[in-house]
Structure 1
Amino acid sequence: MRIGLLLAQVLAQEESLFRSTVFTTAGAVANAVTAAAFLAVPFALFSLHRSERRRPALLGVAGAGAVVAGILHVPGIWSADATVTLPAALLKLSVAVGATAGVMLLFEYARRAAATVRDAADRNHELARKLDDLRRTNVTLQASEAMFRSFLDHCPALAWITDEDGTFHYVSEPCRRHHRAAGELLGRRITDIFPAERAQRHLEHNRQVLAEQKLLEFDEPGEGGIEHRVFKFPLRDGNDRRLVAGIAFDVTEQRRVRETLRDQSGLHAALGEAMRVYLESGDWARTFALLLRCALVQTRSEFGFVGVVLDRQRLRLVAGEGPEWMRQVSRELRAEPGAKAASDVDFSRLEPPLPRALRTGEVVAVDPPDGETSEPARGSFFALPILREKQVVGLLGVGRSTGRYDGNSPGQLVQISQQAGVFCDCYRRELREGALEEQLRVAQKMEAVGMLAGGVAHDFNNLLQVIQGYTGIALEASTTIAERRASLEQVRHASERATQLTRQLLAFGRRQNLQQSDLDLNQAIRDLLRMIRRLIGEQITVDFIPGHELGNLHADRSQIDQVLLNLCLNARDAIRQGGRITIETENVLVNGAFRESHPWAQPGRYVLMTVSDNGVGMDRETTTRIFEPFFTTKNHEKGTGLGLSVVYGVVKQHGGMVHVYSEPQKGTTFKIYLPIVERSATVVGPKHTPTLARGTETILLAEDEPMVRDLARRILARAGYRVLLACDGPEACALFTQHADTIALAILDVVMPQLGGREVYDRISALRPGLPVIFCSGYAGSALGADLPGGDTRRLLTKPYGADEMLGSVREALDQR
């Protein structure tokens, strides 16, 4: 029992000790935990302060209190209190747990506060970065906008932005300056600024751009001749409004350059065409007409002319266009309403400013209403001298009916003037060469005529012998009527042969332009053979071999005669003693096969006339030079070197070809190719004697040669006409004045003393316009006809004439009144 009590006491003591130890340990632990918790509070408060940085004094006081509380609980860790009861221990443990929990909560709060602060700092940093980016972007945008505005304000293009209604939302500075007369554009509508038509056009363009949502390009003419190339395209602003942006570039200069290039291209083409016409056809009228058309187009003129200076006092008008060009040129042309180009005008007859332009080479401008203008190259008409090597060779005039030229007008014609200078120079040179060729031809003709003099004198002596002999027989008293009639018939035949010889000489020696007609070459050669044989002499044989069914030519008879005569004379000089000249004709066809061996030939159908001789011939070097003017191998007494050059010129003028083949000591052959025409030559048949035409009209006859005058009077009187005789021009005018009402026809000799037939006609036609007239002359009719007045009312009667020929002409003239 005692053991049990003792055991109980021991157990009680042990329990008390255990409890004391447990409670003491628990108290120490509680004090330690509480002290640690209180001591950790400042760290938590410091962390919280770092996170939130607010109320630092309060957090400091709380932290200090927590440190003091923690320090006060430190001694309780080592001083165990055996008397600690369970409630006290539980209280301490509760305080320790609460302090620990509070500290942990405080630390968690501080951690979360720190995390929040860090997140806020990160967000603030990101926000600051974004704000910085926004600031930089804003600065960039402002710089870009400023650069954009500066670019558009300094760009030569006009820029603007409008809405659908045409209200301006942006206008560049150049656009504002361009439309400064309209005032401020921003906020105003297009219809308030531009004329109604132009504004409506712009609004339609805006609607088209917005409807199609694509770029629109067009040209817009403006004031003062300015033209813009406009580009319009759709645009949207930040509020998604539909806008139309526009940019316009000034293309006036580009248009001017484009027009200049187009004009230059057309000018070059036209000048090339003029050069082609000149080179291919030599048609001066068309060539100068093309040049004038170029000048009119280049200067936008309505009329003009081109003239070539022939000498120091004459201007030849070679082209004219428009109704007013004659009025600007000369008083002489104005006096002739039907005057055309290719008229020669004396400088003294030109309008006053033009002679100065021709003499000084200065551009002359004229205002027709006010006369000459003092401002160079201005006016409604100006004349530009055409220069060639600093010499005035022509004159180019252009004009407008309204408006005036500017100072650049002469510059527009520089190229045309240069080309015209070349053409004028060629034209003048061609005239000079033509005159020289004509002089050479005439000189050669005169040389041939001189050579013909001996033969002609011989023929005329024979004819005179016949006439005198048979006239003597007819006058003898013992001659019967039959013998007298036969004698007179012989006299008439002799006079007809003399007439033919005279006309042949006149036709051969006449000086005139090319007069072509259809011609049978065989017949022409037959007609000329007698003269050729007379010139060649009896010691040389001349043979003619005519071609069968020879083609016809379109040629000048007298010039073909001269070609044949020159060749025969040249052949005669090449034959030393005796010999033969052979003339042959035939039809030939020049085709590809022939041209292979004769490259100089032109294809076509030709009549070939060959003149061959068996004379001394020529070497190759001489053959290459025989057609040169004045080249001759003869001495000065026998030749001038003109004959073959004339042959070459005549053949080329007829569109033919010349070929020569010769060998020394074997002779020479000339081949003349003349183009064939597809028409029959005019054949003159034998004359027939019609019934003599009679009449009773009154005829004025003016003739200075008494024998001819008396013969004509007897012919007319025997036919029933009343004849008024005049021995010269003044008497003819006086008779016509006295009998103007009764005279039905005038027969006038072309050459009379004091007044010739032309002058008499001028005077009597002033009293009786349309009076029929017959001119009489002993010269070749073709040489006089073109120069005689009277037009359709005149006729030409060539001496010598017969009674039937005279009466036929008289009756024809009277019947056609």
Structure 2
Amino acid sequence: MSLPNLSRALGENQRLNRKLESQLDFLRKSEERFRSLVEASQDAIVISDEQGHILSLNHAAEKMFGYEEREIEGQPLTILMPERYQARHLAGMRRVVATGTSRYLGKPLEFWGRRQDGHEFPLELNISSWIAEEKINFGGIIRDVSERTHLEMQIRTTQKMEAIGTLAGGIAHDFNNILVPILACTEMVLTTEAAGSENWHNLQAVLKAAHRARELVKQILVFSREREHEVAPVQVAPVVKESLKLLKASLPSTIEVVQQLEGEGVTILADSTQIHQVVMNLCTNAYYAMREQGGILEVTLAEVKISPDDSASHGLAPGAYLVLSVTDTGSGMDPTTIARIFDPYFTTKKFGEGTGLGLAMVHGIVKKYGGDIKVYSEPGQGSSFQVYFPVLDKSEHGLDFIIAAPMVRGNERILLVDDELPIAQSMQKMLEFHGYQVVIKTDSAEALAAFRLAPREFDLVITDQTMPELTGEQLALELKKIRPEIPIILCTGFSATMDEAKARALGIEAFFMKPVLIKEITEAIRRILDKIKVVHRSD
């Protein structure tokens, strides 16, 4: 080759080399940009070959699944998913390789992932495929949707509870109305029997059972609606007993419930429904810890004294406390878990089996009432929760006190309004038994008309809340327009729109949830009417 031709060839070769280097540099920069984009993505990105072996993954995927790229490269994709999905996933990949198409490509899919520690979580998956070096590659863009799924579950739970609330409200109203004649007639007959006789004891048993049914309805409503919590003196022992009765009905025979409840008559200042929630949450968690192997659930209640010397070690002020202990023989907890169990949304349960709010709620309730909760647990040794409630005093106002209380009598004229005739008749008998003159009306419009004709013929009005035409609230307002000083007692089996605070704001003198005990309503009637007499005398 001549020198000029060689020179030209070398020049062309250099030009081609420069062009190739420029293209390689462009490819390197392009790859770097692509890699930077992939690494910067908040979503996990995993790439595999057509055999389903992992070729690469980004930092978000490492963080999501708990693996580093170097330890997972070449591993099958199936290690990133629960076993129940693996066979179906591999069959889908083989179908794409064989046909080149799939109805799942390019569409967001709801799926489940599995982290290195075995924890499963919900995810959203978008799969794509492409040809590289005459082979099919697969890419998956993965988004952890645990938080979104939690929110959706909370919305569904809220909607479900609203529906349950409506149903429970109707049942509570009807059931409470059934209890009204049972309580009224039993209380009346009880006063005619000699104390200590066989009939007297039998009637006491009926009355106590009806009273428990009355309290049970209140507890059912706790789970079906939100309401303002009414802080008042509460005897904890009866609340714990009723809670355990509810719980035992749903526990398997492999779990033995042992209870030792002391502190009868000891009261704390709290809302009884929230104490019920505390008991149920602690016992439900204990059951969960033992549900696979079974075991013993022990619930104790006892009064203790904390001296000034022990105050600092307990973290509580000196004084008397009622201690509720819930102990299980389950799997126990390590120190790391114990440190977090009261954190909102922290849960050791599988996804979908718990919200992580139960113990956080228990902690909040206990602290609100000036108490404390202590936890003792070791892995494999079970757990024990001890809840401290400050004692208020010894209560004399238990059910036995109500049964034994002397009758409060009167002779005033009462207008009684209830759209259910059996309820109206039983309350009429109960009030007449105590000396009152009672006119009953089962139609609120008729009751308003009768009062309008002779407003001075009545000293007090007792009305139901839920009635056709005029509700108890509407009737009370109309009666007050005719005679502003007429005292009114409002009763209801259940109402989502009326409570004691609202009744007071409307000028209604007293508000009762059905079924009303004789002692409760007769004392209220006497107190209201005597107060009016005092005012009249001073005038």
Distance 2:322 2:521 in 1: 39
Structure 2 match to 1:331: none
Q: Select which of 755, 759, 763 maps to 2:470.
A: 755
Deviation of 1:553 after TM superposition, in Å, equals 3.4
- Contact 1:617 1:667 survives alignment (8 Å): yes
Whether the aligned pair in 1 keeps the contact of 2:409 and 2:436 (CA below 8 Å) is no
Q: 1:816 to 1:507 in 2, by over 3 A?
A: farther
The CA deviation string for residues 176-222 of structure 1, in whole angstroms up to 9 with x for no partner, is xxxxxxxxxxxxxxxxxxxxxxxxxxxxxxxxxxxxxxxxxxxxxxx
Structure 1 residue aligned with 2:304: 587
| Counterpart for residue 743 of structure 1 | 458
Aligned match for 1:529, one of 241, 244, 249: 244
One-letter code aligned to 2:304: N
Q: Deviations over 1:703-758 (max 9, x none)?
A: 12233234334555676755444434433322221111322221111222232212
2:499 maps to 1:771: no
Question: Displacement, 1:559?
Answer: 1.6
Letter in 1 for 2:469: Q
Partner of 2:213: 498
| Equivalent residue number for residue 577 of structure 1 | 293
Q: Distance in 1 between matches of 2:355 and 2:445?
A: 47
Counting only pairs closer than 5 Å after superposition, residues 604-623 of structure 1 correspond to structure 2 as: 604-605=318-319, 606-623=321-338
Match 1:664 to one of 340, 363, 379: 379
Q: Deviations over 1:68-87 (max 9, x none)?
A: xxxxxxxxxxxxxxxxxxxx
Partner amino acid, structure 1, of 2:297 = I
State the Cα distance separating 1:570 from its structure 2 match: 0.6
Q: Quote how far apart the aligned CAs of 1:789 are.
A: 3.5
CA deviations on 1:644-691 (whole Å, 9 max, x unpaired) are 1111111221233233232222211223233455x4445424312645
RMSD (CA atoms): 4.7
Residue 799 (str. 1) matches residue 514 (str. 2): yes
SS of 2:504 mapped into structure 1: coil
Q: How big is the shift at 1:762? A: 1.6
Match of 2:72 in 1: none
**CA spacing shift, 1:783–1:663, aligned 2, 3 Å:** farther
TM-score by length of 2: 0.53
Query: Which residue identity does 1:573 align to in structure 2?
Result: Y
CA distance in 1, matches of 2:225, 2:436: 35
Q: Which amino acid aligns with 2:486?
A: L
For 1:804 and 1:662, locate their aligned partners in 2 and report how far apart those are by CA, in whole Å.
47
Taking a change above 3 Å as real, the CA distance of residues 592 and 723 of structure 1, as seen in their structure-2 partners, is: closer
In the superposition, relative to structure 1, how do residues 789 and 804 fare at CA in structure 2: closer, same or farther (>3 Å)? closer
The CA deviation at 1:780 is 8.9
Displacement of 1:702: 2.0
Aligned equivalent of 1:473: none
Deviations 1:120-148 (A, max 9, x none): xxxxxxxxxxxxxxxxxxxxxxxxxxxxx
- Following the alignment from structure 2 to structure 1, what is the Cα–Cα distance between the partners of residues 262 and 433? 49
1:561 aligned to which of 272, 276, 281: 276
1:731 and 2:451 equivalent? no
Q: Is the 8 A contact 1:551 1:676 kept in 2?
A: yes
Q: Which residue of 2 aligns with 1:693?
A: 409
1:784 is the counterpart of 2:499: yes
1:618 & 1:510 partners in 2: Cα distance? 33
Identity %: 33
Q: Secondary structure at the match of 1:627?
A: coil
The aligned residue for residue 227 of structure 2 is 512
Give the aligned residue type for 2:449. Answer: A
**Under a length normalisation based on structure 1, what TM-score does the superposition of the two structures give?**
0.36
Distance 1:580 1:604, change over 3 A: same
Q: Secondary structure at the match of 2:259?
A: strand
Separation in 2, partners of 1:656, 1:583: 18
Indicate how the Cα distance of structure 1 residues 510 and 487 shifts in structure 2: closer, same or farther if over 3 A, else same: same
Q: CA deviation at 1:512?
A: 3.4
- 1:147-546 maps to which residues of 2 (within 5 A)? 495-506=210-221, 511-522=226-237, 524-546=239-261
Deviation at 1:494, TM superposition (A): 5.6
Q: Rate the CA distance shift 1:553–1:725 in 2: closer, same or farther, 3 A.
A: closer
CA distance, structure 2, for counterparts of residue 592 and residue 718 of structure 1: 57
What is the distance in 1 between the residues matched to 2:269 and 2:391? Answer: 8
Alignment partner, residue 363 of structure 1: none
Cα shift at 1:643: 1.0
Gaps of 5+ in 1: 1-435, 468-483
Q: What is the one-letter code of the residue matched to 1:587? A: V
Per the alignment, do residues 760 and 651 of structure 1 end up closer, same or farther by CA in structure 2, a change over 3 Å counting?
Answer: same
The Cα shift of 1:567 comes to 0.3
CA contact (8 A) 2:491 2:511 kept: yes
Q: What's 2:344 paired with?
A: 629
Kindly state the Cα deviation for residue 568 of structure 1 after the two structures are TM-superposed.
0.6
Report the 3-state secondary structure (helix = DSSP H, G, I; strand = E; otherwise coil) of the residue aligned with 2:499.
Answer: helix
Q: Could you say what secondary structure the match of 1:616 adopts? A: coil
The alignment partner of 2:342 has SS state of: coil
Distance 1:533 1:780, change over 3 A: farther
How far does residue 573 in structure 1 lie from its aligned partner after superposition?
A: 0.8
User: 2:266, 2:418 → 1: CA distance?
Assistant: 45
Paired amino acid for 2:346: F
Alignment partner, residue 709 of structure 1: 424
Find the counterpart in structure 1 of residue 388 from structure 2.
Answer: 673
- The structure showing larger relative contact order (alpha-carbon pairs under 8 Å, at least 6 residues apart) is 2
CA distance in 2 between partners of 1:782 and 1:683 (Å): 30
Q: Is the 8 A contact 2:323 2:388 kept in 1?
A: yes
Shift of 1:612: 1.3
Structure number with higher helix proportion: 1
Q: Are 2:234 and 2:268, in contact at CA under 8 Å, matched by a contact in 1?
A: yes
Classify the secondary structure of the residue corresponding to 1:741: helix
Q: Does the C-alpha gap of structure 1 residues 791 and 755 become closer, same or farther in structure 2, counting only changes over 3 Å?
A: closer
Aligned residues: 349
Once the 2 structures are TM-superposed, how far is the Cα of residue 613 of structure 1 from its aligned partner?
Answer: 0.7
Q: Distance in 2 between matches of 1:562 and 1:647?
A: 8
Q: Show CA shifts across 1:48-104 (max 9, x none).
A: xxxxxxxxxxxxxxxxxxxxxxxxxxxxxxxxxxxxxxxxxxxxxxxxxxxxxxxxx
Alignment check: 8 A CA contact 1:724 1:735 kept: no
Go from structure 1 to structure 2 and tell me whether the alpha carbon gap of 1:593 and 1:632 turns closer, same or farther (over 3 Å shift): same
The 8 Å contact of residues 311 and 318 in structure 2, kept in 1 or not, is answered as no
How big is the shift at 1:622? 2.5
2:207 and 2:386 map into 1 onto residues whose CA distance is 41
Task: Give the conservation status (yes or no) of the 8 Å contact 1:518–1:555.
Answer: yes
User: Helix, strand or coil: the match of 1:569?
Assistant: helix
Of residues 620-629 and 714-723 in structure 1, the stretch that sits farther from structure 2 once superposed is 714-723
Structure 1 residue identity aligned to 2:513? T
